[in-house]
Chains A and B, each alone.
Chain A
Amino acid sequence: NAGVTQTPKFQVLKTGQSMTLQCAQDMNHNSMYWYRQDPGMGLRLIYYSASEGTTDKGEVPNGYNVSRLNKREFSLRLESAAPSQTSVYFCASSEFASKDEQFFGPGTRLTVL
């Protein structure tokens, strides 16, 4: 099993460009998450999907949109990238949306110039 996979691993964008980060899991988990990690700020939740067909905002949703394409896949879209969105993005999944271990993907390092 691959667990949680993310593409791409690295990306450089110019301000105003758009892009979609892809995430997939093969553990048949119900819940999926997108986090951003910035130095000294820990892991901050952007959006999550408690189950297929639902999405909810996390702590820092502004500037992002998500799509739960099916049970396996959860994508994160930046419509108009800004330098403040330079970060490392992690996708994660878990059986349940609360009180459960989350499994993380390898991360995407995004730089916005």
Chain B
Amino acid sequence: GENVEQHPSTLSVQEGDSAVIKCTYSDSASNYFPWYKQELGKRPQLIIDIRSNVGEKKDQRIAVTLNKTAKHFSLHITETQPEDSAVYFCAASGNTPLVFGKGTRLSVIA
């Protein structure tokens, strides 16, 4: 079955800097890659997703890139703000339900 690895597990950045979180997946049939944000004590919520027919997708300060050949995808957050502090999860899905990475705890230091 699918296996999703996520790095790093923790990440601290200064406010205004960029943050990058990377994920790899194992199943070449996977073609949907969402990213979820979970604030402390809250439920995970989708922030951006990408499908395998595109290589990059942007939404304001957030972007996701996908390299299907290498089986990896990344989340990029630019101009980080304190409210970006949260746990971020990547996930992958092909013909089966989403498989999640273990998460990255992002801390934005003011």
Contact = CB atoms under 8 A, between A and B. Distances in A.
A90 interface: yes
A79 interface: no
A43 B6 CA distance: 13
Given A98-B97, A107-B43, 16 more contacts: A31-B97, A33-B97, A40-B9, A41-B102, A42-B102, A43-B89, A43-B100, A58-B97, A90-B44, A98-B32, A99-B31, A101-B49, A102-B46, A102-B98, A104-B45, A106-B42
A88 B24 CA distance: 26
A42 B43 contact: no
- For chain B, the bracket of interface size reads 20 to 34
B9 A99 contact: no
Interface of B, secondary structure class, is loop
10 contacts: A42-B6, A43-B100, A45-B97, A90-B44, A98-B94, A99-B51, A99-B94, A102-B98, A104-B43, A105-B43
Nearest to B95: A98
Interface of A: 31, 33, 40-45, 48, 58-59, 90, 97-102, 104-107
B16 to A, nearest CB: 29
